[in-house]
A and B are shown apart, each in its own frame.
Chain A
Amino acid sequence: MAVKLILSRMTLLDGVIIAALLAGIGFSFFLLGQRQEGSRVVVEREGKILFSASLDQDRQVSFDGPVGKTILVVGGGEAFIRSSDCRDKVCVRMAEIGKVGEWVACVPNRLLVRIEGDKAGREGNYDILSR
């Protein structure tokens, strides 16, 4: 009864506004979903994992290596190398990475930064991994 009453009172403009709001909410969730394509950043040196963290938490991490420091910035669903003491700075010039399988490397400092899906932290169901 109430639904019928509501529908009977709705005008065309009501319908347009509601549709626009619902579309906006849906689009927001779509955008959020897009951003979480990759969920974790993993930093490795010679096959050993040095660091792994969620892409959703903002942080800056510094890694010492044979040629000095490499600074990785994580946040907003992406990761990139802000600076490195290496000679050519190829890693710094590489784009931000955020999708599963993307990577950026600082070869002189022997660092590989890659993006993983959330097979590990399915639905973000843990805070810390004990390994």
Chain B
Amino acid sequence: MLPFNRPALIVVLALVAAIFGLRQWGSSQPEEIRKSRILMDTVVEITVFGSASIPLQESVDAAFKEIERIEALTSFFQEKSDLSRLKGAGSMEVSPETAAIIATGLEVAAASGGAFDMTLGKLKDVWQIEGDHPRLPQPEEIKEALAGSGFGALVLEGGRVVRSSPETSIDLGGIAKGYAIDRAIEVLKKAGVEHAAVNAGGDIRLLGDRRGQPWRIAIQHPRQQNGFLGRLLIQGVALVTSGDYERFFEKDGIRYHHLFDPRTGYPATASQSVTVLADTAVVADALATAAFVLGPQEGIALLKKFPGSEGMIVGADGKPAYTPGFGKLIEWQSN
């Protein structure tokens, strides 16, 4: 004997109630704020989750302000930046932030045998790949642009930056963005935020998890615009992907991109893309550029020198090489 007169009706009504209940439960999840701004020549997106007791909106605004502040210190184009002031000085005391960026950069430069190079300002000027009019310079121009660059051309003595030659032109494009998003995460942490993601054009730093689950990060396929190489389920780390598909122009069927090999002055040819995981975005950013230049074999060897770092390098032939730890984390995608 069933306890209801209308059991089927009750089952259907219960089903409807469950669906609406689930929707209501979904809407009562912790508050999420997601804001985007164009900073450091890219779209910076900050996502935070938290309870109403945390001033999420103000925290996100403060994090953007911090990124703006770092940009103002490290931009090649802002008059009062440390870099602009350095153009006219052989040596100069810089802000602690700029000094910290350069110190990390020099560490990666040394470990990579100069594959990461912060003295390619002149070279980037002649190529203009990130400008409005990219061009293929003459070999003499490239040779000239490499004068005053290279490992040893830039030295840090405490908080003082020393250029070895008046021709040394510093460019922090391959590392400052990583530092800026690390700083943004610190600002969020200080405000009490425990779950956040700061994504600056694909350079990502994660704080905590996402609604109790790891963040799901897809990795761009270097040759398929809408395709992925795979997906990582991670939390509380930094992840940077760099590739020859980001900024480039083509001439006579050859792709000229923005990641230069300091040894030749031409875009590096050993890799299609690199993804690096590290504790901080500043380290991941510099390592990604260096590993791209070095290519799969030497690049993986470089990553192994930095404890806590993992990564994958897609070689010029399209084949991925990766560290053992990265291999355990990635879910490959069949495109």
For chain A, the count of residues having a C-beta within 8 Å of the partner chain is: 33
B9 within 8 A of A: yes
Indicate if B37 sits at the interface (CB-CB under 8 A).
yes
Asked if B243 is at the interface (CB within 8 A of a chain A CB), the reply is yes
| One of A59-67, A78-86, A101-109 at the interface | A59-67
A130 to B15 Cα, complex, angstroms: 39
Q: Is the CB of B38 within 8 A of A126?
A: no
Check A130 against B217 for contact (C-beta < 8 Å). Answer: yes
Interface positions of B (Cβ within 8 A of A):
2, 5-9, 12-13, 15-16, 19, 34-38, 42-43, 45, 197, 199, 201-204, 210, 215-220, 226-228, 231, 239-241, 243, 246-247, 275
Q: Within the assembled complex, what's the spacing in Å between the Cα atoms of A128 and B219?
A: 9
Q: Which residues of B contact A50 (CB under 8 A)?
A: 38, 42-43
* A7 surroundings in chain B (CB, below 8 A): 8
Contact residues, A104-131 vs B (CB, 8 A): 116, 119-121, 125-131
Interface presence of A18 (CB below 8 A): yes
- Contact check, A129 vs B36: say whether CB atoms are below 8 A apart: no
Q: Is the CB of A126 within 8 A of B8?
A: no
Q: Is A5 an interface residue (CB 8 A)?
A: yes
B16 touches A59 (CB 8 A): no
List the 3 closest pairs (A to B, CB-CB), nearest first. A131-B220, A126-B218, A131-B202
Asked if residues A14 and B9 are in contact (CB atoms below 8 Å), the reply is: yes
The answer to whether B36 touches A51 (Cβ under 8 A) is yes
Majority DSSP secondary structure for residues of A touching B = mixed
Residue A10 at the chain B interface, CB threshold 8 Å: yes
Those of A30-88 within 8 Å (CB) of chain B: 48, 50-51, 53, 57, 59, 61-64
**Given A59-B35, A61-B36, A119-B226: A127 and B9 within 8 A (CB)?**
no
A2 at the interface (CB under 8 A from B): yes
Nearest Cβ distance between residue B154 and chain A, in whole angstroms? 29
A48 cross-chain contacts in B, Cβ below 8 A: 247
- In the complex, the chain B residue whose C-beta lies closest to that of A15 is B8
B2, B36, B202, B243: most-surrounded residue (chain A CB, <10 A): B36
The reply to whether B218 and A116 form a contact with Cβ atoms under 8 Å apart is no
Q: List 5 A-B contacts (CB under 8 A).
A: A21-B12, A116-B226, A127-B210, A130-B203, A131-B241
Contact A127 B16, beta carbon cutoff 8 Å: no
* Interface set, chain A 1-23, CB cutoff 8 A to B: 2, 5-7, 9-10, 14, 17-18, 21-22
> Is A63 a contact partner of B38 (Cβ separation < 8 A)?
yes
Given the known inter-chain contacts A9-B5, A62-B37, please indicate yes or no for A120 contacting B215, CB distance below 8 A.
no
Is A25 an interface residue, CB under 8 A from the partner? yes
Using CB atoms, name the residue of chain A closest to B245. Answer: A131
Whole-angstrom CA separation of A61 from B39 in the bound complex: 12
Q: Who on chain A is nearest to B7 by CB?
A: A6
B241 touches A6 (CB 8 A): no
In the complex where A9-B6, A51-B36 touch, is A130 in contact with B12 (Cβ < 8 A)? no
Q: How far in angstroms is the closest Cβ of chain B from A110? A: 10
Contact status A127-B219, CB under 8 Å: no
Query: Using Cβ atoms and an 8 Å threshold, which residues of chain A touch B37?
Result: 61-62
Q: Choose from A9, A53, A61 the contact partner of B7 (Cβ within 8 Å).
A: A9
Complex CA distance for A99 and B194, rounded to whole angstroms: 36
